[in-house]
Amino acid sequence: MQPIHSASAMTRAGGVSVRKMALTTMLAVLSFVLSTFVYFPAMAPFQHFCNLLGAVFLGPWYGLAAAALTGLLRMVLTGRTIQALVGAVFGAFLSALLYQKTRKLWLAYAGEVFGTGILSAIAVYPLMRLFYGLPPHSPFYYIPFYVPSAAVGGGMGCAVLLLLRHSGALNRMLNQLNR
């Protein structure tokens, strides 16, 4: 067996970034804790706050993993419905994908709001009917709940990221993470 000669090699295991895995877990736990203790009826803005941070720092797949972990934690530990899982993943993935392709924060924000506010809201409706016996409503029933939550939380995430960018810390953090 050959010795590891660089810090870069030590942070990668078979193409998987240990730093990104650690950040994925930290964002999932932060999102879970904030969404559990700072809760508004039918809204979890801190989920979307963390989704936007994950979009920029982690990319689509790790961001999706962080959102899914948060949703699973919320379902298992706090008894939330399947909305906790489905409501998080579409926005996280779309936000990160748009940011990865363009490097524009406003598109990451738009991806979070559209992905969660529209796509997740429509996708969760049949699952709520199937698993929880939701009475027949419009498939657009959840949109008025999801859009404001994603807009507020995504806005908070954008504000933090803009502050980091303005100070020059964002690029340093991204360089450190992607070593």
Give φ, ψ of 146 to 5 degrees: -80, -40
Q: What pLDDT score does 3 carry?
A: 44
CA distance to 82, 84, 136, per residue, from 127 (Å): 8, 12, 12
d(CA 22, CA 56): 15
| Residue 144 amino acid letter | P
- Four-way CATH pick for 44-177: 1.20.1260.10, 3.10.129.10, 1.10.1760.20, 3.40.50.150: 1.10.1760.20
Q: Report residue 52's pLDDT band, with 50, 70 and 90 as the boundaries.
A: very high
Which one, of 152, 173, 154, lies nearest residue 55 by Cα?
154
| pLDDT for 1 beyond 70 | no
Instruction: Kindly calculate the radius of gyration of the chain based on its CA atoms and give it in whole angstroms.
Output: 17
First-to-last CA distance in the chain? 23
Domain boundaries, the chain: 44-177
Q: In terms of pTM, does the model score above 0.75?
A: yes
Kindly report, residue by residue over 86-136, the tens digit of the pLDDT: 988 999 999 999 999 999 999 999 999 999 999 999 999 999 999 988 888
Average pLDDT over the chain, rounded to whole?
A: 90
Q: How much is the average pLDDT of 36-46?
A: 79
